[in-house]
Amino acid sequence: MITRRRFVRDAALLAGSAVLAPAAVSCRRASLASPAMSRVVAVAADDILTGLDYNPAAVHRAFEAGLKELTGERTLRNAWASLVSPDDVVGIKINCLGAPRISSSLASINETIAGLRGAGVRDNAIIIWDRMDRDFRKTGLILNRSAEGVRVKGCSTEWEGVVPWVHGYDLAVWVSFKDGTLQRFRELIAAGFLKEATHREIFNSLTWLWGLIEKGDLRAAQYEKEIRRLYTEESDREGIRRIAEDVAHAYDNFFIEDEEKSYLAKIVTRETTKLINIAVLKHNEDSGVTWAAKNIALGVTTNKVRFHIDYCAKAIPEILAQPAIKDKTVLHIGEAAKISTVSVLGSKIALDNRIFFSRDPVAMDRIGLDLLEEKRAAHGLESIRPIATHIAACARRGLGTDDLAKIDLRQLGA
């Protein structure tokens, strides 16, 4: 089996212990929407950023206004208590990629921890997590896998992108796709797809080859340097086509066990009873937009590079439909005061002043797509709507709504 040091001014989280700057204001309450509507609450605060850091006092006000509006409760404590109980083990999925420039803020993380504590959740029953331990390096968070304090950890200590199984993932829970497998590659070669296929299509059809490289296969090892280069140089169609032609029949009699499977992390399948998702609004070359849905779906599975062959339109809804995610996720928090309009790493950043709250990831992503489009247009960038197809795919799967007529968007100030 096969088997991302910065402490910002707004908060500190050391060895699983969070420090929160207190602030509170009241917010208006609105009447509850029809049950058929998906509620998304956007809370604006003019002082939400200090430079490029989130201001914890403003974040606290935004959380109080947003969660009271979302849940219909009169107090922030009751709002949190309506989402979780003292008996829950709560996983907080964050986004580390892009830290320290643009990632889930310590202010929102600390505010979430404070809310969970107020609802009676024990510190060691709170798990802040992302894909790998190494992802936390520039976040200001300290890894903590101990039996004391808030736990901070990755799903695994190993990279999970191109192999079915790595330590920390559940062999009993998976999603299955032929995309990116050797079996599917053989079918594509027989159909002559290399003549017209794009870089994306060819590269993702070769995920199995990168998997063999990671496993130490000697024949595959010769392609490692070039595969890694081509992972980011998407314009080089000829470079990836040459590799595909070279291996077209080199593995005709080869079998890769479980190659069609992508396993789910034990954090979601075994360790937690509730999930909270703190996502950052970003452009993504492989799905147009990444926010609520993609942050959690691609943060919980193995063997995922291959998902991008169709901009994740097939994989994201299938993953979100798994009971370990669908039945446990109680809140999506969408940071949008800083928005990455180019890449997940924040190559270009646009400013807003809002944090969003919803229980419907599809509705939140639909609102986020419009916001990202607006910010990209202001930067003179092309539309990414044509490739953000996973949002509509999730709606078709019944995981939420992308119909603006069915989204109850409430915009508040804090």
- Give mean pLDDT, residues 259-280: 98
Chain segment 309-344, per-residue pLDDT in tens:
999 999 999 999 999 999 999 999 999 999 999 999
- Give mean pLDDT, residues 351-366: 98
- Report the range of poorest mean pLDDT among 12-16, 108-112, 163-167, 363-367: 12-16
Instruction: Parse the chain into domains and list their residue ranges.
Output: 12-167+262-413, 182-246
DSSP string covering 44-111: E-TTSEETTEE-HHHHHHHHHHHHHHHH--SSHHHHHHTT--TT--EEEE---TTTTTSSS-HHHHHH
Q: Supply the Cα-derived Rg of the chain in whole angstroms.
A: 21
Stretch (H or E) spanning 318: helix 315-320
Q: Report the alpha-carbon distance of residue 329 to residue 268 in Å, rounded.
A: 10
Give me the half-sphere count of Cα atoms (radius 13 Å) on the Cβ side of residue 60. 17
- Contact (CB, 8 A) for 76 and 128: no
Cβ-Cβ contacts under 8 Å for 94 (sequence gap 6 or more): 103, 104, 109, 128, 129, 130, 139, 278
pLDDT at residue 35, rounded to an integer: 54
CATH of domain 12-167+262-413: 3.40.50
Q: Report the alpha-carbon distance of residue 354 to residue 185 in Å, rounded.
A: 44
- Give mean pLDDT, residues 185-202: 96
pTM attached to this predicted model: 0.90
Burial of 238 (0-12, 13-18, 19+ CB in 10 A): exposed
